[in-house]
C-alpha cells in the first residue's frame, strides 16, 4: 500500500487548509508534521526539500510538492476531481481562482491593522456578496445540477464549500440572498467524506485565534507592516 501523504506545515489553517479539505473530500488519509517554532521550520528548510524555502509542502508519491496550487492540482487530477476534459478543467480553474482570491482575503483578514479592520471587513463582505457568490449562485441556477461542473463532485465544489464556511465564520447569514448556495452547502456537507471532515475531532483546523496568530507571526518572523504592504494588493480602498 502506498504511504499516506505527509503534510508539512504549522498547526493552523493557512494555505494548507484547502489541501486538507481536498484530500478529505477524496477520502485520502494523510499524516501531518506540524512545526511550532522558527527553529523547527528552519530545520525543515535545512532538510533541503522545500524548493522555495516555503510551506505548504506535501510528501506524496515520491515527490516533495510545494506551491499550494501545484499541490491542489495534483490531488484534484489524481483523484478525479478535475473535470473530464480540458474545457471542464479550464472552468474549474476559473471558479477555483476566484474562490482562492476570496479565501486569501479572509485568510489575511486577522492580520489587518486595528485601524483598518472595519474597512477590510466591509471590503471582503462586499466582494463576497457582490462579486464572487453571485457567480456560483448563477452557475448552480443555470444548469440546475447538484454540482458546479457536469454532475459530479469536483475540486471547485470542495473549494466552494470551504470558502462558504469561512465567509460564514466572518459574517453569519452571509448566504441569505443566495438560496442555491444554501442548498449546495447543505447537500455537499452531507457527502460522507465531507461530513466526516466536518465533524469534531477530524483533521480540519479551527479558525485562527489570537494565540494562533502570534505563533504564525513568531514562526515566520512576520513584520506586520511589510506583510500588510503585500496584502495591499488584495485588500485596498
User: Judged by CB under 6 A, does residue 54 bind ligand GSN?
Assistant: yes
Stretch that binds ligand GSN, among 20-28, 51-59, 98-106, 119-127 (CB under 6 A): 51-59
Helix (H) or strand (E) holding 9: strand 6-10
Q: Of the candidates 5, 12, 13, 15, which one interacts with ligand GSN according to CB under 6 A? A: 15
| Interface mask toward ligand GSN for 209-228; x: CB under 6 A | -----------x--------
Q: Which of 94, 78, 108, 153 is nearest to 15 (CA)?
A: 108
Minimal distance in Å, beta carbon 192 to ligand GSN? Answer: 29
Q: Cα 232 to the chain's mean position, in Å?
A: 20
Minimal distance in Å, beta carbon 19 to ligand GSN? Answer: 10
From residue 89, alpha-carbon distances to 82, 93, 164 in Å are 6, 6, 22
List, in sequence order, the alpha helices (H) in the chain. Answer: 17-25, 38-46, 68-78, 86-108, 117-127, 133-143, 155-170, 179-189, 192-198, 210-220, 224-231
User: Judged by CB under 6 A, does residue 55 bind ligand GSN?
Assistant: yes
User: Judged by CB under 6 A, does residue 56 bind ligand GSN?
Assistant: yes
DSSP lists the bridge partners of residue 174 as none
Q: Of the candidates 67, 129, 182, 193, which one interacts with ligand GSN according to CB under 6 A? A: 67
User: Judged by CB under 6 A, does residue 68 bind ligand GSN?
Assistant: yes
User: Measured from the CB atom, is 126 or 224 closer to ligand GSN?
Assistant: 224
CA distance 17 to 13: 5
Q: Is 35 helix (H, G, I), strand (E, B) or coil?
A: strand
User: Judged by CB under 6 A, does residue 203 bind ligand GSN?
Assistant: no
User: Which residues sit at the interface with ligand GSN, rule CB under 6 A?
Assistant: 14-15, 53-56, 67-68, 220
Amino acid at each position: 500500500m502506498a504511504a499516506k501523504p505527509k503534510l508539512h506545515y504549522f498547526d493552523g489553517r493557512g494555505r494548507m487548509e484547502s489541501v486538507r479539505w481536498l484530500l478529505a473530500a477524496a477520502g485520502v488519509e494523510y499524516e501531518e508534521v506540524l512545526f511550532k517554532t522558527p527553529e523547527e521550520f528552519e530545520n525543515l528548510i535545512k532538510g533541503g526539500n522545500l524548493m522555495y524555502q516555503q510551506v505548504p509542502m506535501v510528501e506524496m508519491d515520491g515527490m516533495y510538492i510545494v506551491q499550494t496550487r501545484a499541490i491542489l492540482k495534483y490531488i484534484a487530477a489524481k483523484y478525479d476531481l478535475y473535470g473530464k476534459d480540458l474545457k471542464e478543467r479550464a472552468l474549474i480553474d476559473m471558479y477555483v481562482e476566484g474562490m482562492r482570491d476570496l479565501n486569501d482575503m479572509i485568510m489575511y483578514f486577522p492580520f489587518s491593522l486595528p485601524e483598518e479592520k472595519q474597512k477590510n471587513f466591509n471590503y471582503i463582505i462586499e466582494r463576497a456578496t457582490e462579486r464572487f457568490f453571485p457567480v456560483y449562485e448563477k452557475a448552480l441556477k443555470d444548469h440546475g445540477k447538484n454540482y458546479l461542473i457536469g454532475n459530479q463532485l469536483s475540486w471547485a465544489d470542495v473549494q466552494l464549500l470551504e470558502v462558504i464556511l469561512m465567509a460564514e465564520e466572518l459574517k453569519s447569514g452571509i448566504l441569505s440572498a443566495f438560496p442555491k448556495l444554501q442548498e449546495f452547502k447543505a447537500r455537499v456537507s452531507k457527502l460522507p467524506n465531507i461530513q466526516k471532515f466536518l465533524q469534531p475531532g477530524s483533521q480540519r483546523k479551527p479558525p485562527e485565534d489570537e494565540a494562533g496568530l502570534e505563533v504564525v507571526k513568531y514562526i515566520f518572523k512576520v513584520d506586520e507592516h511589510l506583510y500588510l504592504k503585500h496584502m495591499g494588493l488584495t485588500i485596498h480602498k
